[in-house]
Amino acid sequence: MIQAIEAVEKSDVKRNILALSQFYLIKGDAAFNQGQFAKAERFYNLSHNLATETKDDFVLVASSHGIAAVKGAQGKHAEALELFERILESHKDYLGIWYNRGVALRQLGKYEEAQKAHVPSFKIDTELLTMKIAIVDISSLHLHEQTIPEATERLARLLKKDGLIKDPIIVDSDSLVVLDGMHRVTAAREVGCSRIPVCLVDYDNPSIRIDTWYRAFKGAESDSLLRFIQDLGLRRSEIQLAAAESEVEKKRAVCFFANPKMCVIIGDDTHDTGIHDSYQTVSEIEAEARRRGMEVLYETAYDAKSKLRSGEFSAILGPRKVAKTDVKKYGAIDNPFPHKVTRHMIPARPLGVNFPLETLRDDRVSLEDLNNRLVEDLHSRALMRTPPGSLIEDRRYEEACFLFK
- Per CATH, the number for 1-118 is 1.25.40.10
What's at 10, amino acid-wise?
K
pLDDT digits (tens, 9 = 90+) for 97-142: 766 777 778 788 876 666 555 667 888 999 899 999 999 889 889 9
Q: Which CATH topology does 121-208+346-405 take?
A: 3.90.1530
Q: Which residues contact 182 (CB under 8 A, 6 or more apart)?
A: 143, 144, 145, 146, 147, 339
pTM: 0.74
pLDDT tens-digit series, residues 311-327: 999 999 999 999 999 99
Q: Which residue has the higher pLDDT, 89 or 119?
A: 89
Task: List, by residue range, all CATH 3.30.1760.10 domains of the chain.
Answer: 211-325
H helices within 292-386, ranges in order? 301-310, 324-332, 357-361, 367-379
Provide the 10 A C-beta neighbour count for residue 382.
7
Q: Distance between CA atoms of 322 and 328, rounded to whole angstroms?
A: 11
212-235 pLDDT, tens digit each: 999 999 987 777 887 887 777 677
Distance, in Å, from the CA atom of 290 to the CA atom of 83, rounded to the nearest integer, reads 52
Cα 36 to chain centroid distance, Å, stands at: 26
Band of pLDDT at residue 55, cut at 50, 70 and 90: confident
Q: Which segments of the chain belong to CATH 3.90.1530.10? A: 121-208+346-405
The domain made up of 211-325 has a fold known as 3.30.1760
| pLDDT of 1 above 50 | no
